[in-house]
Every structure is written in structure tokens, then in C-alpha cells.
Amino acid sequence: MSIASPRSKLFPNNINNILFLMPDTALPSLNDDILLEIFSYCRDVEPVTIWVVSHTCRQWRRVALEHSLLWTHIVVDRTTARYLGSTSALLWLDTWLQRAGPERDLDVVLNFTNISKSRVRKAKSLRVGSILLLASHHAYRWRTLTYTLMGEDGSLRTAPQGVPASQNQNPMLNELRKTLANMPRLQSVCFSQNFLSQGSPDITPQYVHSLLSPKAAPRLRRVALTNIVANNDAVSCWPMEELSYTFIGDSVLVVDLAAPLLHKYAASRLRLSGSPGALPLSQTDVPTLERLEVLTADLDVYLAEMVRHAPMPYLSELILLASNPRDPLLIKQNMQAHDRYSLQLLDELSQRPSASILKKISLSLPFRDIPWSSIAQFDGLEVLRIVKPSTDIFWLQYPSPLSMLYNPSTKPLGWVLPQLRLLFLEETEPYTFTRFGLTGGADYLVSETKRLFQRRSDVAKGSAAMTASLSIHLVGLEARLDIQM
């Protein structure tokens, strides 16, 4: 068997090169089981691949059509519109759904990000509402749903008006409400948009999100939202394993409308990212985070303000993130004004009676010193991870910046963070041309660290020791050192 060359033009620069950029190359005969494994792998990398293998040769087509599992990852985006045809989207989407069989769980992705920039002619003719409605006829077997609708310029704006305004007089909206009232298998959703559509009846991610309820989707446990706002619905404290919220564009318009979503979803894991650009307008509406166990947030003063007053009695892990800016102007601004990289949330949590419950802390600190005074308040801390760019002078001074850990203290057990078992110090790419990183040589770093921590290490020995044995892991850009005390 040989691979025909014409389709090699369709799939440049991805996994399909393996299959389609070898014109007139003979392949050994492979049995169906091996082909199924290969097709499954290619489908996971690029879902539209299954369409290509089904048109390659008789054997491959037979294997593809006989295994409906290969068709259960359904994606409508620029790639599939380009290669399958934008004007016939409803036709091939219907075929895709049918080939997935009548009962299998479906993973559905509807991504209309900059769809009008596609090189396919008449890409604007993709009818978002009709595509969503067709996919919704199989909502009863959705396992995951991703619905993204982004404009070309990336700025926040009002919702596009593509659907008649009256919900009661719009058959499409009425039918959509009916089909989305029964999603018994749905476990995860992701809704993203870069426009405001509060109160808008358009078929947007905002509108579809408003149809979610515990009755319609009883198994839903993971929700990811970007610029989605609250709908003033009656749902509150809906148990979730994970809630992720991202602010993009001119999010100052969204922050006050998004905060109530922390009431709607009672998540055990919460991820807040982006920059709202403003404080919530109402400071009296404190979110309920009483189920929260893991909080991940960007180091931003406004994100911290959204949750810092919320009760978090079961919080056991805190992750505060900050990326290293590449723009020289941003570097200068951030180095001069550290207030946006706020550690206010850490400071607030360190003063709470529940501080001893926190077991893991991870801090990305591109523009700040390590806040040891706050970290020291978490007496039950077992794992600490500090991430700093190689530009930071911390790496030149190591291990002396850890003096609070290797010197005895006046605390009851005689040491700061007596339960600390793992300390990770990670180096990231520099944000300027200057780079320090780990210096001094591996032997010196290991011997000096052990020398300074010798007293703490001695105290940790023995069955009756009240101080945990500590190991330090230095993770550099080019090397890693694991130091066991």
C-alpha cells in the first residue's frame, strides 16, 4: 500500500505529516488493532485527522467507520472549517455526529475564534446558532462541552446581534432551551467570549451558560469561564470539583458582574487568572468559599480583593502565579510599581486562625522578595515552592536567603515551619538580558546548604522528633540538585 500525495498539501506542520507527507512510500500491512491505536493517537492530537484516514484507502476507511469511538471527539473550528468546508459545515457536522454512534459519550468543541480570518472563502457563512443547535440535539450524551466565541480584535465589546431579540418569539432559542434541559452525562464545560452579553438573548457562550442547572446537568463537576457574567439565577452553592475564571480584554466592565459566580459554584478547586483591572463595585457581597481546598490565582491586587474576605476554612493549598513579562516597557513599569503583583491574599490568610491547615504553598515571585514573615505563620506547612527568574539576585545569594529556615527561632518548637518536608526553589527564564541563576557549582551548593541546615537536620532525627526532616530541591534551567538533610 502507498500513501497518495495530493492530501499532503492539506495538513502541513502537524502530526499528519507522519501519514501524508510521504508520497509513493510503501507501508507494510498493519492489522486493524494497530491501525486503531494509530488512528486514536492521531485523532487526539488533531481531531480532523479521522476524516483524512477515512479517505486514504479501503482498509483505513473500513477501520475508521467500524469504530465509532474514533468519531466521538467533535470539533468545529478554523481547522475543520478550512479542510471540510465552511459552507457545508452543517452537513459534515451531522455526518460526524452520526458516525459517533447513537449512545457513545461525546466531547464537543465549538471554537469560533476569529473565524472570519480563515482562509476559506465565505467563512463568515458559518452559522453559529445553527451549528450549536445541531450539536445540542445530542446534548443528552455530551461528556464535555467547549464553546468559544471571540471577536477579531480581542477587545471587550457588547454582544453581536445575530439573533432576534425576543426569546419568546425565537424558535431557535426555544428549541435550544429544550435540548439543553437534559444533559445527564455532562461532566465539564468551558465557555469563553470577549464581549459583554448580560441580558442578551443571542446564542452566545453567556446564554448557554445561563441554561446550566443541577437539574439539567447533575454530573457537572468542572466549569471554566472567560468573561462570563452572573445571570441573577436562583442557583447557589452548586458543588463543583473545579471552577476556573479568566478575565481578558477590558475586563474592568466584567469584574463586578463576575464575582457573584463564586456564589453559584461551590468549588473545591478555584483558579482565578487575568487582570480584572478594577475592584468589584460591591464589597458587601462576600463569596462563599467554604468548600475550597485549593486556590490558584494570578498575583494581582484586584483578584486578591475578590476573595480575600471570603471564609476558606478548609483551604489546604495556595498557588500564586506571575509570569515574567517580555516587553521592556512592562518590565520597567512592574519593577517600579509592585502593587499589582500583590501578596495581600497571602498576608490576609496568614493572620487567620485556619492558617495552620494550609499544607502547600507555591509562589511565583518575579518582582518581589520572598515574604518570609507571612509564610512563617503557616505552622502546618509541609510543601513550599518558590519560583524566581534567573535574573533575580536571590540566586547569587543562595543559600543565605533561607536563613529563617536554618536558624533557630523563638517559636514553640524552636524552628520556623517545623512540619516543612519539601522545599522547591525553581529558576525560570530571565526577563532581562542579565542572568544569575544557580552559581557556585553543584558541590559547593550542596555542601553549603547541608552545613547551614545541620542543626535543623540534627533536631529532626529520632522517633520523637517534632520537626520534620527537610529536603531541598534546586530546579535550574539546565540542572537540578536534590539535597536531603
81 and 56 assigned to the same domain: no
Taking Cα atoms as reference points, which of 466, 468, 448, 447 lies closest to residue 457? 468
| Amino acid type, 339 | D
78 and 149 assigned to the same domain: yes
80 and 135 assigned to the same domain: yes
Q: Return all residues near 209 (Cβ < 8 A) that are at least 6 apart.
A: 189, 191, 225, 228, 231
65 and 88 assigned to the same domain: no
What span, in angstroms and rounded, lies between the C-alpha atoms of 209 and 315? Answer: 27
Write out pLDDT tens, residues 10-55.
Answer: 444 444 444 444 444 445 577 888 888 989 998 888 888 899 888 8
106 and 162 assigned to the same domain: yes
Write out pLDDT tens, residues 123-136.
Answer: 343 478 889 999 99
Task: Answer yes or no: is 310 within a domain.
Answer: no
* pLDDT class of 236 with cuts at 50, 70, 90: confident
38 and 172 assigned to the same domain: no
* pLDDT class of 158 with cuts at 50, 70, 90: very low
pTM here is: 0.83
Among 179, 203, 220, where does a domain finish?
220
Task: Answer yes or no: is 227 within a domain.
Answer: no
pLDDT given for residue 6 in this prediction? 35
pLDDT given for residue 134 in this prediction? 94
4 and 33 assigned to the same domain: yes
Ramachandran quadrant class, 199 (left: phi over 0; alpha: psi -120 to 50; beta: rest): left
Percent of the chain's residues with pLDDT above 90: 40
pLDDT given for residue 420 in this prediction? 96
Q: What angle do CA 296, 349, 421 make, to 5 degrees?
A: 75
* pLDDT class of 305 with cuts at 50, 70, 90: confident
- Angle 89-99/128-136 helices, nearest 10 degrees? 20
- Give whole-number Cα distances, 424 to 49, 74, 290, 452, in Å: 41, 40, 29, 17
Task: Answer yes or no: is 135 within a domain.
Answer: yes
Burial class (CB in 10 A: 0-12, 13-18, 19+), 417: buried
Among 43, 71, 99, where does a domain finish?
71
Task: Answer yes or no: is 89 within a domain.
Answer: yes
pLDDT surpasses 60 at 388: yes
Handedness of CA 204, 205, 208, 209 (dihedral sign): negative
β-bridge pairing 480-484 and 471-475: antiparallel
* pLDDT class of 469 with cuts at 50, 70, 90: very high
Among 181, 202, 220, where does a domain finish?
220
pLDDT surpasses 80 at 287: no
pLDDT surpasses 70 at 311: yes
Return mean pLDDT, the chain: 80
Which residue reads 435550544 in cell numbers?
176
Q: Which of 202-216, 269-283, 295-309 has the lowest mean pLDDT?
A: 269-283
Q: Which domain holds residue 51?
A: 1-71
Question: What are the two backbone dihedrals, phi and then psi, of residue 274, each rounded to the nearest 5 degrees?
Answer: 85, -165
Task: Answer yes or no: is 27 within a domain.
Answer: yes
Could you tell me which residue, 98 or 462, shows the higher pLDDT? 98
* pLDDT class of 7 with cuts at 50, 70, 90: very low
What span, in angstroms and rounded, lies between the C-alpha atoms of 462 and 456? Answer: 12
Could you tell me which residue, 42 or 260, shows the higher pLDDT? 42
What span, in angstroms and rounded, lies between the C-alpha atoms of 149 and 473? Answer: 42
Write out pLDDT tens, residues 322-358.
Answer: 865 554 445 445 544 445 567 888 888 998 888 889 9
Task: Answer yes or no: is 20 within a domain.
Answer: yes
What span, in angstroms and rounded, lies between the C-alpha atoms of 401 and 394? Answer: 7
134 and 214 assigned to the same domain: yes
60 and 146 assigned to the same domain: no
pLDDT given for residue 372 in this prediction? 93
pLDDT given for residue 214 in this prediction? 95
pLDDT given for residue 8 in this prediction? 39
150 and 42 assigned to the same domain: no
Task: Answer yes or no: is 400 within a domain.
Answer: no
Question: What are the two backbone dihedrals, phi and then psi, of residue 474, each rounded to the nearest 5 degrees?
Answer: -95, 115
Could you tell me which residue, 458 or 332, shows the higher pLDDT? 458
Domains held by the chain: number: 2
Task: Answer yes or no: is 207 within a domain.
Answer: yes
pLDDT given for residue 475 in this prediction? 92
pLDDT given for residue 111 in this prediction? 93
Helix (H) or strand (E) holding 448: helix 442-452
DSSP 160: P
59 and 120 assigned to the same domain: no
Cβ–Cβ under 8 Å, residues 352 and 379:
no
What span, in angstroms and rounded, lies between the C-alpha atoms of 381 and 370? Answer: 16
pLDDT given for residue 235 in this prediction? 75
